[in-house]
Copies of this chain bind each other. A is one copy, B any other.
């Protein structure tokens, strides 16, 4: 199967137009053939005449005819200036102040499963503290045999682990319980990232301090101005919680908790306390502000689900999306992300008619527990209107619900844990809209 049938003229024509060349369409096929056979006969493009004109496509660009910048000029690399629109973005009306706010990952611009550190979404409650790691301490106390205060150097001497895990705010998509609000993947799903996290397993540290038999819960508290704190069941702490100091190889970024944070894989991001300063072992939860008035799920009957920790199985199509419309007819790779806080992604189905018929997508690359997973489906678009949906299934057998199913269980009062099947409407001109089906 050729992906671009008979398209060669089109793309070369496009290039020539940019260069101000006025060749008419009828002459192009002959022109291309001559030019290419000329190129094929030479050992290297460098052997071409220096006089660049329309007879030697593709033109030798200006950057091939000059020297670039040297190696020492950027000791810590930065993106190309042409990528300046690939940035985290905020929704100004969503929060009252920028120090207790959220920025979102530009999922529409990303490939693979790793989120680069500069684009990982942010959420904090009293701004980003500027912590000197030499002065930072982690205290572990409460129902333990040997209370301890650790320096960063101490923590780095323990056996370490490195795990690729997604991190998601449970409010991701939370603006959309009652109807579509956001035009753009970055805003409907961008409180989501996936990194390789390195640090010490919390179970290692708890072994060091010796948890008393009556210890059942862990309070984790941050060193930020909000002293953000959450209660975590000891069972989770002993299972896979990590006290993290590195992210994608390097030290944590300030907005991600530098120099130390917790990571509760697969659980709501809010529990993965940043700027981690204190762990207390207790026999019951603490019922802190962020697990009572916030981060609980208000149901239709006025009661609230509490300690709804797990980010359940979810998925979204990332290409196309409102920010990445289909500009031409022809073959595309329809692509997306799936994830589950309960384990691995087992399958993803895709629908082009709003969930009437489904077909299996291909799972791509490495499939890791509690990590983002890519799926894709080659698709030939010829201008037909579509209602695109994806539906993920994890290794526990859990199937991502429809919005109607979710509303039936939870009502529409909650902000959190909206993992419903998402719909993109593709219109005849290739633009993509965020819609909800009744």
| A residues whose Cβ falls under 8 Å from a Cβ of B | 2-4, 7-8, 11-12, 14-15, 18, 32, 36, 39-40, 43-46, 57-58, 61, 63-83, 86-90, 97-99, 101-103, 109-120, 122, 124, 126-133, 135-137, 139, 141-143, 146-151, 153-154, 157-164, 195-198, 204, 207-208, 219, 221, 223-225, 227, 229, 245-246, 248-256, 258-259, 275, 277-278, 280, 286, 288, 327, 330-333, 335, 364-366, 368, 374, 376, 378
Contacts and interface: CB of A to CB of B under 8 A. Distances in A.
5 contacts: A11-B151, A40-B143, A64-B277, A70-B99, A113-B162
A112 B227 contact: no
B71 A102 contact: yes
Contact of A11 (B71, B128, B154, B275): B154
B4 A77 contact: no
Contact of A130 (B68, B71, B207, B248): B68
Given A2-B207, A8-B146, 8 more contacts: A71-B99, A82-B259, A86-B250, A111-B160, A112-B198, A112-B249, A116-B250, A162-B374
Contacts of A90: 71-72
| Total identical chains | 2
B45 A277 contact: yes
A52 to B, nearest CB: 13
A119 B117 CA distance: 12
Contacts of A278: 39, 45
Given A116-B249, A223-B64, A246-B111, A147 B36 contact: yes
A249 B64 contact: no
Nearest to A330: B157
Contact of A18 (B40, B71, B135, B142): B135
B76 A79 contact: yes
A3 to B, nearest CB: 6
A111 B333 CA distance: 34
A320 B284 CA distance: 41
A68 B365 contact: no
B376 A160 contact: yes
Contact of A61 (B102, B112, B149, B223): B223
Closest 7 pairs (CB-CB, A-B): A68-B127, A70-B98, A112-B162, A111-B198, A63-B129, A75-B87, A71-B101
Given A137-B58, A151-B14, A248 B248 contact: yes
Given A67-B127, A135-B18, A225-B67, A40 B255 contact: no
Contacts of A136: 61
A126 B40 contact: no
A250 B79 contact: yes
Nearest to A107: B249
A204 B75 CA distance: 35
Contacts of A14: 151
B198 A124 contact: no
Contacts of A378: 159
B208 A253 contact: no
A368 B76 CA distance: 27
